[in-house]
Amino acid sequence: MTASPHAAPVKTCAELQQAPVEYRHAVEKIVISHAINELHGAQVFDEPAIKLAPTPYAKWLTCRVAMEEYGHHVRFRELGEELGIPAERMIPGKTDKKALSIFDFPLQTWTEFCVIKLLADLGEILQVEDLAQCSFLPLRNLSRMTMPEERFHAEFGREFCTELCQTEQGRQAVQDAVNRYFPMLPGFFGKARSKNNETFRKWGIKQRTEAMLEDFLVRAKAVCDELGLTLPDVSKAA
């Protein structure tokens, strides 16, 4: 917190109104970004995956994942509404703000969905871990509520990928999806030395930005090693 000019945490939405405008806007950016991305992800990945799930058991769990991702949007949006952010600024397609490019992957198979949960939700865990130390306490609280669910999503991905990797053909399909999807994931962590990231760190809204990507690459490699998978080299993609 020493780098933050706003060392004391901001406890409530009412208190935020008294905070410097740069801080307020930065908090709003985070809330809007989560609201947009949770909804967009649920729409393009999780809900369509219910159809792709091969068994009633897999459909049941995928419904739970979709329900929780929509729930994350609802929670961030409710916080945004409390901050006076107009609803349309938190809905993809209704605002100029684009969802993250990690959702541009054209999901077509169950295997691809399992890989997305394995890797993208691991990335989400890192983001939510960081938010758990945010200087704006309502965001810390949201992170504590969503964390067990994001862990479940990544675990869902790990378990189904493990199952798919039982056959050589399945393992190859998982590896192929990893090769195509993984290079999109550095985009989750923002551009190196971006102005936004600088502001987030300055105010203690985010603690780690570039370092988060490095940590993600290490953790993703560990998960893939365990499954006998390799990661494509993305050192130049970030």
Burial 99-112 (b: 16+ CB within 10 A, else e): bbebbebebeebbb
Closer residue to Fe ion, CB minimum distance, 69 or 130: 69
Residue 103: strand, helix, or coil: helix
Closer residue to Fe ion, CB minimum distance, 72 or 77: 72
Closest Cα to residue 178, out of 229, 216, 144?
229
Q: Of 68-76, 81-89, 128-136, 205-213, which segment contacts Fe ion by CB under 5 A?
A: 68-76
Q: Give me the 71-110 binding string for Fe ion, x by CB under 5 A, dash otherwise.
A: -x--------------------------------------
Q: Of 70-78, 128-136, 176-184, 219-227, which segment contacts Fe ion by CB under 5 A?
A: 70-78
Q: Is 34 in the site for Fe ion (CB under 5 A)?
A: no
Closer residue to Fe ion, CB minimum distance, 188 or 203: 188
Nearest-angstrom CA–CA distance, 76 and 59 = 26
Total count of residues recorded for the chain: 238
Q: Of 16-24, 25-33, 80-88, 152-160, which segment contacts Fe ion by CB under 5 A?
A: 152-160
Q: Of 9-17, 113-121, 156-164, 202-210, which segment contacts Fe ion by CB under 5 A?
A: 113-121
H helices present in the chain, as ranges: 13-16, 21-41, 47-52, 56-82, 110-131, 137-164, 168-181, 195-202, 210-226
Q: Is 121 in the site for Fe ion (CB under 5 A)?
A: yes
Among 34, 40, 77, 153, binds Fe ion (CB under 5 A): 153
Q: At which residue do the structure tokens 């192929």 appear?
A: 176
Closer residue to Fe ion, CB minimum distance, 122 or 231: 122
* Count of residues interacting with Fe ion (CB under 5 A): 6
Q: Is 158 in the site for Fe ion (CB under 5 A)?
A: no
Nearest-angstrom CA–CA distance, 125 and 156 = 13
Q: Of 28-36, 50-58, 78-86, 120-128, which segment contacts Fe ion by CB under 5 A?
A: 120-128
> Which phi and psi angles does 4 have, rounded to 5°?
-85, 130
Query: Smallest distance from the beta carbon of 36 to Fe ion, in angstroms?
Result: 12
Judge residue 60's burial from the number of C-beta atoms within 10 Å of its C-beta, 0-12 exposed, 13-18 middle, 19 or more buried: exposed
**Site for Fe ion, rule CB under 5 A:** 38, 69, 72, 121, 150, 153
